[in-house]
Amino acid sequence: MTEKNIKECQKSLDFVLGWFAKPIFIDGDYPESMKSNLSSLLPEFSEIEKKYIKGTADFFALSFGATLSFQLLDSHMKFQQLESISLRQLLYWISSEYNNPEIFIVENSWFVSGSTKRDDAKYIYYLKKFIMETLKAIRYDGVNVFGYTVWSLLDGFEWHRGYSIRRGLFYVDFQSHDKKLMPKSSVLFYQKLIEKNGFPPLPENQPIEDIFPCGFAWGIVDNYIQWLDGFDMVEV
């Protein structure tokens, strides 16, 4: 968390989000970090053009998920950056940076292995985490998020990753002639979530802070294979 690193992080976000968001939601012009680094390439806007550009979006449409092309980069090109699933942090940053716009999450997901069938517990974990972070951003951080969309309905072709990963709520059997569709466990999870409009304060949804009863037994179990001379294998 040095001043230099913070500036570099800001620059990175400016070049991805600020390129469009600052002109539309703030003042009609590009971020200063882009203007100072790309002054010979960026067009200059007149004051009339700035006024015309500013405020031309009805809402901030955010797509958040794994950048599959990021994995193609050589390690020295990543500049020690890592992909993050911290959606809440990004939502708060957008809200703070661009005057608390209305945000619609138009795409959000992560990926799981292509060998995953219909029991996609790991995908449900990601989905639940993203939606809970969205709710926290709304309730605790005051971020103005008004909609959420999962990506995607079906498994599909994932560019350079091909069919080696899956991101759909419905399993697609790519080996079958008719590409048979089957609902995954995540479909039921998302359906119930929508029915309840989130995570209502049910007992099973509540965190617990307490200690176990006195005398409660803790332990670790393991097993290993032992060979005995003149005897068969024994499992201990």
| 156-186 confidence digits (pLDDT tens) | 998 888 899 999 999 999 999 999 999 999 9
132 and 21 both lie in a single domain? no
Kindly report, residue by residue over 99-146, the tens digit of the pLDDT: 999 999 999 999 999 999 999 999 999 999 999 999 999 999 999 999
Kindly report, residue by residue over 88-98, the tens digit of the pLDDT: 999 999 999 99
Provide the 3-class DSSP secondary structure of residue 183.
strand
199-203: long-range pairs with CB below 8 Å, 24+: 199/132, 199/135
70 and 175 both lie in a single domain? yes
Residue 19's domain comprises 1-56
Q: What pLDDT score was predicted for residue 158? A: 87
Q: Would the pLDDT of 235 be above 70? A: no
Q: Is residue 164 part of a domain?
A: yes
SS (H, E, C) 74-134: CHHHCCCCCCCCCHHHHHHHHHHHCCCCCEEEEEEECCEECCCCCCCHHHHHHHHHHHHHH
How many distinct structural domains can be found in the chain? 2
Domain boundary among 200, 216, 231: 200
Q: State the virtual CA torsion across 167, 69, 149, 189 in degrees, nearest 10.
A: 30
Domain boundary among 35, 56, 77: 56
Read off the pTM: 0.82
Q: Strand 165-166 vs strand 170-172: parallel, antiparallel, or unpaired? A: unpaired
Tokens of 15: 């070049």
